[in-house]
Amino acid sequence: MAAGTIRYWAAAKAAAGTAEEPYAAATLAEALDAVRGRHPGELSQVLRRCSFLVDGNPVGTREHETVRLAEGGTVEVLPPFAGG
């Protein structure tokens, strides 16, 4: 298990009610499951539309269970942006 930071942007930040929070998880799927548990409701719906960067690298279409998280890493949660 690794510890790092999840950063929320735009609609994800509003739904989470915070700009960032720590994670303790081995994979992106585990980290997102924990986020859904801490923030039930709107954030879970927003996450379905988000893209993710893990340590600056796009996750793309990879299964979240296969995306390993690093100690001290960063997960960026990026909802779709209007015009971008």
Q: What is the pTM of this model?
A: 0.93
Amino acid at 22: P
Distance between CA atoms of 50 and 64, rounded to whole angstroms?
Answer: 12
Encode the chain (84 residues) as per-residue pLDDT tens digits. Answer: 999 999 999 999 999 999 999 999 999 999 999 999 999 889 999 999 999 999 999 999 999 999 999 999 999 999 987 444
What pLDDT shows up at residue 80? 86
CA distances from 2 to 14, 75, 77 (A): 26, 12, 18
What pLDDT shows up at residue 46? 94
The full length of the chain comes to 84
77 Cβ neighbours under 8 A, 6+ residues apart: 6, 7, 8, 9, 12, 47, 50, 52
